[in-house]
Each structure stands twice: as structure tokens, then as C-alpha cells.
Amino acid sequence: MNETQSAASAVSNRLKRVILTLGSILIVIGAPLMISLPCILTLAAMGGAGKDVTYFGVASLTLVVLTFGTGMTAFMHANRSLKGKPSKPLRFPPTFLLFGIFVFLVGLGVFIVASDAAVGILFPPILLAAAALPPLWAVAWMIPQAKPSAEGEAGAADQTSLSWRRGLLAFAGGATVSVFIAIVLEILLPVTLFALVFDLAENVAAQMESLFRALSSRDVAEALTNRGFIYLFMQIAVIAPLVEEFAKPLVVLPVVRHSSKQETFWLGALAGAGFAALENVIYAMSGFGIWAGILAVRAIGGALHPLGSGLVAQGWRGVMLGEKEAGKNWWKRFGIAVTVHAAWNGGSLLVITLGGARFFGDLPPEIDILGMSAAGSVLAFLFIIGLAALWIGRACSHDKSFLPAEGGEAEAGLVPSERAIALWAVACLIAIVPAGIAGLKLWLR
């Protein structure tokens, strides 16, 4: 089945018209922002190079990209698809090139901010591009890139390769629709959760405090059972992973029923990449003083959002097709994504805090964990998580057993079992706990 036929079977004309309409609405919303953007950035630059000016420039450009840019992408590709026009297979530049561009942009951004050189104009596009590159190079590493045959025609891998149309829409949907759903749920869930369970938490807190006091100092025990700490922990390590891993692949559900298992993983990964790109911008601006360090730490885990979203998307595909044990497989994949996400969130916060961000006030520069600094230890742990996520994502993407029967034989031993991936996820979560306790002791000194 060629790309045009595959796209026609994957997306109904009704859905294409819905995408066309939504794209038109976003264009109408974003057009005034797009037209006024040069004036906005120029006026911002004339205001100096302060933090507020930079925030304003980044926020303005981000809104233009999310509205006008996403709208144009949706409108153009939906319109071309309705007219039966094919889209070329998605090709990524080499991963090392994307990484090199990321390093260059971060260095250029640091120079511009340090020199106060038209920060309001030059910094916003640099930040947005740098924020999008880590998840994109992770997806580029995961997705096999088909090469033309000697006769000039597409090779066999093109039979299942993604098109630019579907790839861009998945990425744009992850950065817009998925983020919107996640924000709504992250507001609603904490209110509901704490209304239901805080009475129970109140009763259990005293017993927990006794246990923690036996394991550590009195201050740590009180901090761990403090309502503020419980809320922060629940938000970062429980609610955010649950909500985000649920929300990210939702935008690709209309097409996964008609996609192969491998293509479903790719689409989910691209939606996760779009989600991660916008999240990187938000995190970087939340800690603008160390934005480069935040992007560098998050770049280590560039594969985590795409991997989790790809796995959950595959779970949804099984459910929608009514496969055997589809519900069990969905929960297994969702659990893996949430567990690794929770471990990553905790580890990233520790690295940024212990490495010098000092969000909680003045901190001693180091605390030892087995003879190593806490920041160094957790950073090494994050490297392990990030590299493992890259390997698992690439293994799943290249596994020929995901292809149709004519795709070739499965490469035995390449793909780890789901049980092995689940054990890796649980091990990641358990491993972060000692570092978390050490970081909390450091905070309370």
C-alpha cells in the first residue's frame, strides 16, 4: 500500500475536515499575533534585556507558533490530503547534526543573554529551536530512515515509513492538544485527589513520621510528612506522570487503528516530542537564570517523553483493535511510562537543586552519596535512564516483528521483553529514593 492509500485509509474525510476547521480557527486566532510579532519583539528589545522583557518575547513567539504556525500546518496538510495529494516520507537529518546544532544554539543563547545584545529579539527563536531539538534527535535516532534503492525508487522500508504530513500533525498535536489536556487534568486531579484522600493521609501521617524518624533525623521525618511536601511530591512524582503519559498519545488515536504497531509507536513518539518541546520552553523560562543548564539536563532525557508516548499509543492501538489481553497490555505500557517519568522528574529536580540552582535558599555545595557528590551521582543516574530510553526506543522502532509478514524476519535478541522493561522502570524509581532523602537532608541543614 503506497503512502496516499495508507493516509486515505488512516484518516477519514470527516476527520480531515475537522482538522481543516481547527487549523482555520487557529490561523484566525494567531494571525493578529503573527502580524504584530515584529513590532512586539522590537518594542520589547527597546525596553532593555531584563527578565520580564525576555519572558515577554519568548511568550509572544511561543503563542504565534502554537496558534498561527500549528494552524497553518493543520490547514495545509488537511487540505492537500482531501485533494488526494501525497506527502513525502519523513526524513530526519543525522542525529549528530541535530546534537551539534543544539550545542551551538545553547552557546549562542548564553552569549546573547550575557552580552545583553537584543535579547528580546534574538533569544526567543534560539530558545524555541533549542528546546525542540532534544526530543527530535531522540525520535530521529529511534525511527529507521529508509534509503532509496539503486533504481531510484524507495526501498522496502518506505512501505511503513511515516510521511511528513502525519509526522508534523502528530508533533503539532502533541505540543498543543496534548498539552492543553494535560494542563486541565493537572488542575482538576489535585483538587479531586486531595479532597478524597487527605483525611486518610492525615491519619497515616503520624505513623509515617515515626517510621521516617527511626530512619533519619527528626527534621527529615517532619518534612516528609508535611502537607506541603506531600502536595509537592504528589504533583511532581504522581499526578504529572499519570496525566502526561495519558494525555500525550491521545492526538494520534484517530489514526492508530489503521496503522501498524511500528507506525503507531512512531506517531506516539512524535506526539511526545511535541509535548516535550513545549515543556522544555516552560521549564527553561521558569528557571531563566540557569536556562542553559535546565535544557542540558533535560536533553539527557530527550527520549523519555517520546518513548513513553510511543508505548502508550501502542497500548491504545491494541484496545481499539480488540486484541487479546489488550487492557492488560495497555496498563503495563502505561505503568512503565509513568514509573520512568516519575523517576526522571525526581532526579531532574535533584540535579538542578543540588547542582547550584538553590531554589530553596542557600545550600552547602555538596553532600556525599557513596563518596560522590549528590548532584554528580544523580546526574549519572539520569544519564543511565536517558541512554536506556534511547536504546529501548530504537530497539522497538527497528524490531521487524512489528512489520507485516512480508517485512522480514524478526531480529531475535534486539528488543528487550516487556517484563525486562518494566523491571528497568521500577529499578529507576527505587534508585532515586536514597538520593532524594540525601537531597532533603541537604536542604534542611
* Tens digit of each residue's pLDDT, the chain (445 residues): 445 455 445 457 788 888 899 999 999 998 988 888 777 767 666 655 566 777 888 888 999 999 999 999 999 988 888 888 888 888 888 888 999 999 999 999 989 888 877 777 888 899 999 999 999 999 998 887 655 444 444 444 444 468 888 899 999 999 999 999 998 888 777 666 665 555 555 555 555 555 455 444 445 455 555 555 566 666 777 788 889 999 999 999 988 888 888 889 999 999 999 999 999 999 888 878 888 888 988 888 888 899 999 999 999 999 998 888 888 889 888 988 888 888 777 766 655 555 444 433 444 444 444 444 555 666 677 777 888 888 888 877 765 444 333 344 444 445 566 666 766 666 666 655 555 555 555 444 4
pTM: 0.80
- Residue 380's pLDDT is 72
Question: Angle at CA 278, nearest 5°, toward 272 and 281?
Answer: 140
pLDDT computed for residue 62 by the predictor: 92
In the prediction, which pLDDT does 115 show? 82
Residue 378: predicted pLDDT: 65
Whether the CB-CB separation of 145 and 92 falls below 8 Å is answered with: yes
- Write down the pLDDT at residue 10: 47
> According to the model, what pLDDT value does residue 44 have?
62
- Cβ atoms within 10 Å of 2's Cβ, excluding its own: 11
Residue type, 135: P
Cell 482538522 identifies what position? 19
Per DSSP, the residues of 262-289 read: HHHHHHHHHHHHHHHHHHHHHHHHHTGG
Question: How many residues does the structure list for the chain?
Answer: 445
CA separation, residue 443 to residues 145, 356, 366 (Å): 47, 12, 11
Asked if 291 and 247 count as a contact pair (C-beta separation under 8 A), the reply is: no
